[in-house]
Amino acid sequence: MARAHDTDLADRIAVADPDRTVTYRRLADRVGRLAAGFADLGIEPGARVVLQMPNTVAFVETVFALFRLGALPVFGLPAHREAELVGIARAADAVAIVHPGVHQGFDHAALAQSVADRVDTIAHLIPIDRLDEIAAEPRTHAPSNPSDVAFLQLSGGSTGIPKLIPRTHDDYLYSVWRSNEVCGVDADTVYLVVLPVAHNFPMSSPGILGAIYAGGTVVLSPSPAPSVAWPLVERHRATMVGMVPPIARLWTETAERGSAADVSSLQTIQVGGARCPDELARRIGPALGVTLQQVFGMAEGLVCYTRLDDPIDVVTSTQGRPMSPLDQLRLVDEDGEPVSVGRGFLEVQGPYTIRGYWGGASPDSFADDGWYRTGDVVEITDRGDLIVRGRGGDRINRGGEKVSAEQLEEHLLGHDGVRDVIVVAVDDAYLGERTCAYVIAAAPDAPPKLPELRAFARSRGLAEWKLPDIVSVVDAFPETGVGKVSRKRLRELLTAQTAAAE
């Protein structure tokens, strides 16, 4: 892998956003000063700090400063609201929240304060624009052990009690290093971030850590919209970008219509987070003049990539194969028994896949021998490539953002007009899946309406993407055929009924 010599690196651009451009020298200096500043506040090695930060240079500086100190960033998202942040902060016993103040018209300072009011361990609320004031004279901090937990990621579709994912320095670095090899990342790579940067995909596949590890450049876009992101591609000559399928569709259609922006520097577009329809996959390369790379990954570990030199039909119809020869996969049926056909629920173990959540949450997510149960139904081709066919009905994949059916049901059940509710995924041409709440009304003559239930879920402190898209009022749920009403079985039956009705 081509790496910049250290002497050259100092003056190269490490990170840029629309407002700031920072060289490696400046980044290193700033990280040292912020690490000292966090330590002066009383944040100790091992302490957890919830980040709710938009796509800016400050995010990168803060994450590296916490790493330097040995404190653990907990990767919240700007879209999270009170219910999520309280759950995350409690599960992590967090001592601080770093927030953006007023951002896109929303008062995150007030949100952080209400979280602090409810979570005793929170001692510091740090607005991003006060990071400068905190910064102090750099000093040496005791190095972390490679096998220490480096940070906590969030599991997609967490229920009421969030599943926090403990990733260690060595496991994550291995995944970043291997990703760089597979994705051809080197010192000439200019990696553009258009997804929320705290997601595992833009962090590590190969993401900002891959680009920085190789001495390349990271460019952070505040939005994935072509009108915002393409001028940044042009200005920084971005070579690589990772996105979810709905964004890929938007970029492809914009390019097919003909656009004035020059995006010819782009070499690779990675698409993952949700299933990329084959039809879209075939259009991306020709429309944007790039190599498409499909990525099937998860914050718990396993990441699969199509290879840059794979035959075009493999690239457009599969989600690739594991990045490491040490990743082990097996397919099982609903009861966890091995299947002999090449299709089933995927379970995985390997050098960078976790064997348990933080604090032992959700033990059912792991088989008795520690393998991670992904919940995804996949098919493995003769060549060893994976095709994602779906997943169990507990989680909706809304254009890459995951929604826990169970969590939304719990919240909607709190509404006076709802006697019972089951949340399922319905197919959607743009997002892949949308959220449908089947509701049995408390008063059949006055069933609750969609806007009312959305407003209610919002008032309970849920992120916007988790609010129901569709409400369907029914008199009763289908018979499950078993004595005990299993919500899992009901979700499956309703999903099947909805699909049949389309």
Residues near ligand J2J (CB under 6 A) are 156, 200-201, 204-205, 272-275, 294-299, 303, 319, 374, 376, 388, 391, 397, 402
Q: How far is the CB of 292 from ligand J2J (least distance, A)?
A: 12
At 174, list the tokens.
């291995």
Nearer residue to ligand J2J within complex by CB, 112 or 303: 303
| Entry field: residues in the chain | 502
* Residue 4 identity: A
The least distance separating ligand J2J from the CB of residue 306, rounded to whole angstroms, comes to: 10
Q: Between 47 and 295, name the residue whose CB sits nearer to ligand J2J.
A: 295
- Which distant-in-sequence residues (6+ apart) come within 8 Å of 133 by Cβ? none
| 124 or 391: CB nearest ligand J2J | 391
Q: For residue 487, what are the contacts with CB-CB under 8 A and spacing of at least 6? A: 406, 409, 422
What residues contact residue 451 under an 8 Å CB cut-off, 6+ apart? none
Nearer residue to ligand J2J within complex by CB, 81 or 395 = 395
Cα(40)–Cα(27) distance, rounded to whole angstroms? 20
Contact by Cβ (8 Å): 157, 403: yes
What is the closest distance, in whole angstroms, from the C-beta atom of residue 375 to ligand J2J in the complex?
6
Report how far apart, in Å, the C-alpha atoms of 430 and of each of 218, 378, 450 are.
28, 22, 20
Nearer to ligand J2J by C-beta: 34 or 423? 423
Classify residue 262 by its DSSP letter.
-
Q: Which burial class, exposed, middle or buried, applies to 136 when counting CB atoms under 10 A from its CB (0-12, 13-18, 19+)?
A: middle
> Which residue lies nearer to ligand J2J by CB, 149 or 274?
274
User: In which residue are the tokens 């929303």 written?
Assistant: 106
Beta carbon of residue 445, minimum distance to ligand J2J (angstroms, whole number): 40
C-beta of 122 vs 315, nearer to ligand J2J: 315
Could you tell me the smallest distance in angstroms from the CB atom of residue 128 to ligand J2J?
24
Closest approach, Cβ 122 to ligand J2J, in A, equals 25
**Shortest Cβ distance from residue 451 to ligand J2J (Å)?**
28
Cα–Cα dist 295/182, whole Å: 11
Q: How far is CA 254 from CA 28, 193, 222, 225, 373, in A?
A: 38, 19, 19, 10, 38
Closer residue to ligand J2J in complex, CB, 35/203: 203
Please count the other Cβ atoms lying within 10 Å of the Cβ belonging to residue 340: 6
Euclidean distance between CA atoms 217 and 191, whole angstroms: 6
What are the tokens at 281? Answer: 């996959």
The pair phi, psi for residue 107, each rounded to 5°, is -90, 90
Q: How many CB atoms lie within 10 A of CB 383?
A: 10
Are 486 and 454 within 8 A, CB to CB? no
Kindly tell me which of 70 and 207 has the beta carbon lying closer to ligand J2J.
207
Q: Shortest Cβ distance from residue 156 to ligand J2J (Å)? A: 4
* CB nearer ligand J2J, residue 18 or residue 277: 277
Which residue, 79, 90, 84, is CA-closest to 460? 84
Q: How far is the CB of 217 from ligand J2J (least distance, A)?
A: 20
Nearest residue relative to ligand J2J (C-beta): 297
CB count in 10 Å sphere of residue 50: 26
Greatest C-alpha distance within the chain: 74
CB of 386 to ligand J2J, least distance (A): 9
- Choose between 271 and 436: whose C-beta lies nearer to ligand J2J: 271
> CB of 4 within 8 A of CB of 215?
yes
Least distance to ligand J2J, CB of residue 388, Å: 4
CB of 214 or CB of 439, closer to ligand J2J: 214
Name the residue with tokens 């490490």: 14
Residue 459: alpha-carbon gap to chain centroid: 24
Cβ at position 312, least distance to ligand J2J in Å: 17
C-alpha distances in Å from residue 31, one per residue of 36, 58, 65, 149, 289:
9, 10, 5, 19, 37
Q: Is 370 exposed, middle or buried (0-12, 13-18, 19+ CB in 10 A)?
A: exposed
Q: What's the one-letter identity of residue 372?
A: Y
Q: Which stretch of DSSP H or E encloses residue 192? A: strand 190-193
Tell the smallest beta-carbon distance from residue 402 to ligand J2J (Å). Answer: 6
**Please, which residue, 36 or 276, has the CB nearer to ligand J2J?**
276
Tokens linked to 117: 């009011």
